[in-house]
Structure 1
Amino acid sequence: GFSKIYAPMFRELAPLEEYRKFEKVLDRLSRFSGVAVAFSGGVDSTLALIAALKALGPHRVLAVTALLPVSVPGEVEGAKGVADWLGVRHEVVEVDVMGIPEFRRNLEDRCYYCKREIYRALKDFASSEGYSVLIDGSRREDFEVGRPGVKAAGELGVLSPLAEVEIGREDVRKLLKFFGAPNADKPPESCLATRIPLGEEITEKKLRLIVHLENAVKDFADVSLVRARLRKGEEAVIEVFKEDIPKLVECREDLLKAAEEIGVKKIYIDLRGYVMEEHRLQEVA
């Protein structure tokens, strides 16, 4: 159960500095009659959703998740699981970003056009359900690096209460662990479009290749995080956490077979291991 949200006795056990910031978020949200939360199921939007529930109660909060053609398989189901654990109403809105030429073109502004369409769709849906305020889980670092999603959110009037009070990545993790959130240790995730080199068109076929390869790695190597980055259309570079690299070598024959099934001729393993998305230009979202 999620008793720590509503039981004031747990306040004394909270990490002090981080909880002071969190209380500022509660102050900001408590002035609204209700809010919708752009909820991906990731750690940042989970904390934003917890804040909304604590400030307003479950009957004045709506969690809304965008389902995209570039969503990682299982992402929406994961969001639903967290929403169920929190006891909040959860809705899914399909957003067809593949219909946006500027997105498919896959230049450096790709994320901006995608996020703008997502926020527009979520805001429209929330409004139709009686929620005029939409918040997201953007945090301090998102504003510091100038992520395109921040620009899109600002243009559409989406609020970012975590960032407003300087809550950062480590604050989010500590607070989620305090609340006992089931996804507190969830690895970072990014959309499938980030696996396609900038400047190469995003197509349904490429997305299918990526999903096939990433599913194969998860099935055969039993890893918690994988990125299959396409190169030249018929090659792929596989990234996992550094400690999981030996698992890829052990199942190399299975992976090669899975790649051949879909026309991927060569697979490379990135020996550096997975690098956080925030340090990759093409993964800024």
Structure 2
Amino acid sequence: MVHLFIAGELARRQCPVHQKPAPGGTCRLAERPGLPLRRAIEQKLQARHRASSLIKGLNRALVAFSGGVDSTLILRLAHEELGSNAVAVTAVSPSLARSDLAAAQDIAREIGVAHELLESTETEDPRYRRNDPQRCYFCKTNVYQAIIDFAGQEGFTWILDGTNADDLGDHRPGLRAAREHGVRSPLQEAGIGKEETRAWARELGLSNWDRPANACLSSRVPYGSEVTPAKLAQIEQAEAALRELGFKELRVRHHDQVARIEVTRDQLPRAIEQGDLITKAMRQAGFSYATVDLAGFRSGSMNDVLRKR
């Protein structure tokens, strides 16, 4: 069933398809001027059909699975289309928080699909550790090579990932590594963006459909500052402490002795109120100082320095 919400006042009152309150805003397809509702629905269904058909024709496939909503949707579709010929694989290294690994394992069990954990060695690669703007490329090169090696051993012919159409608009050198290693991206290839991905995941009953976007722990280290397992452990501990304090969408950016904390703007007053607890938690994680970024949470904020060039 397609959930499609029309722009304007109607969207705030009801879904034109189901005649009930529209949860969570508007659909970008319906917002396009002059595009009839029927055509918008047709385009959404066609995009979904393209993604499912792509997967159905792949015989046996591994899904590079992070536990985020994008790769979860792909895993669910692969399980539907390929059954036991679809298997989730998660690369485990110091750059993956243990809480993210546990969440991925829970989701794989929820879907009912086999889940393999592969050791990846990107943190041992000096090109990755030096942390220039191509770090993600070297990370994914290591990860995809580990998955390709596993695929060859187990007789899998394809690798899928959760890249969606909106991912093409940011600095993502990892996408180049995916293409070089023959990884297929059904959502991106079908033209399905993040909003549509979440809507589809919700309709399928996936429990993490609204999980905030996340990235590897290395994304918290400024370019030019070496990535080390010790720094990644600090970041993981610090972010876990903030979640225990009730913050959900957050980042702890590692600036040597300083933990620069990003929370959503509506949570900034609470972060200030809990300043003593936060400072204590950051010190326990190994930082000397804690600071709250007044600009609030921004996914990919470390790329700001690249946009200014």
TM-score (norm: length of structure 1): 0.88
Is residue 37–residue 62 contact of structure 1 (8 Å, CA) maintained in 2? yes
Q: How many residue pairs get matched?
A: 270
- Choose the corresponding residue for 2:252, options 228, 250, 269: 228
State the shift of 1:168 in Å: 0.7
- Choose the corresponding residue for 2:300, options 254, 277, 283: 277
State the shift of 1:242 in Å: 1.6
Pair 1:161–1:91, CA change in 2 (3 A): same
- Comparing 76-85 with 250-259, greater Cα deviation is found at 250-259
Structural RMSD (CA): 2.1
Once the two structures are superposed, the pairs formed by residues 129-148 of structure 1 within 5 Å of their partners are 129-145=154-170, 147-148=172-173
Report the residue type matching 1:191 in the other structure: C
Is residue 18–residue 175 contact of structure 1 (8 Å, CA) maintained in 2? no
Output the CA distance in 2 between the equivalents of 1:279 and 1:141: 18
Equivalent pairs: percent with the same residue? Answer: 34
Report the residue type matching 1:208 in the other structure: A
Pair 1:169–1:13, CA change in 2 (3 A): closer
State the shift of 1:113 in Å: 0.2
Pair 1:194–1:279, CA change in 2 (3 A): closer
Pair 1:243–1:199, CA change in 2 (3 A): same
Is residue 66–residue 92 contact of structure 1 (8 Å, CA) maintained in 2? yes
State the shift of 1:13 in Å: 4.9
State the shift of 1:240 in Å: 1.1
Describe the superposition over 1:238-274 as per-residue Cα deviations: whole angstroms up to 9, x where unpaired: 0111222233223221222223335422211112211
Output the CA distance in 1 between the equivalents of 2:293 and 2:301: 18
Task: Specify the structure having the higher radius of gyration (Cα).
Answer: 2
TM-score (norm: length of structure 2): 0.82
Output the CA distance in 2 between the equivalents of 1:274 and 1:97: 27
Report the residue type matching 1:33 in the other structure: N
Output the CA distance in 2 between the equivalents of 1:282 and 1:76: 30
Which residue of the partner structure matches residue 7 of structure 1? none
Output the CA distance in 2 between the equivalents of 1:182 and 1:47: 11
Which residue of the partner structure matches residue 41 of structure 1? 67
Please, which runs of 5 or more residues in structure 1 have no aligned partner?
A: 1-11
Please, which runs of 5 or more residues in structure 2 have no aligned partner?
A: 5-40
State the shift of 1:146 in Å: 5.8
- Comparing 160-169 with 24-33, greater Cα deviation is found at 24-33
- Comparing 208-217 with 254-263, greater Cα deviation is found at 254-263
Output the CA distance in 1 between the equivalents of 2:301 and 2:273: 30
Is residue 140–residue 163 contact of structure 1 (8 Å, CA) maintained in 2? yes
Once the two structures are superposed, the pairs formed by residues 1-285 of structure 1 within 5 Å of their partners are 12-13=1-2, 15=4, 16=41, 17-56=43-82, 58-145=83-170, 147-219=172-244, 221-231=245-255, 233-277=256-300, 280=303
Is residue 105–residue 115 contact of structure 2 (8 Å, CA) maintained in 1? yes
Describe the superposition over 1:107-149 as per-residue Cα deviations: whole angstroms up to 9, x where unpaired: 0110000011111111211232221111111111223446211
Output the CA distance in 2 between the equivalents of 1:72 and 1:283: 26
Greater RCO structure (CA 8 Å; 6+ sep)? 1
State the shift of 1:177 in Å: 0.9
Output the CA distance in 2 between the equivalents of 1:79 and 1:33: 24
Report the residue type matching 2:291 in the other structure: Y
Pair 1:48–1:190, CA change in 2 (3 A): same
Is residue 165–residue 192 contact of structure 2 (8 Å, CA) maintained in 1? yes
Describe the superposition over 1:32-73 as per-residue Cα deviations: whole angstroms up to 9, x where unpaired: 2221111111011111112212222x2111111111211123
Output the CA distance in 1 between the equivalents of 2:183 and 2:95: 22
Report the residue type matching 2:200 in the other structure: L
Is residue 190–residue 283 contact of structure 1 (8 Å, CA) maintained in 2? no
Pair 1:278–1:171, CA change in 2 (3 A): farther
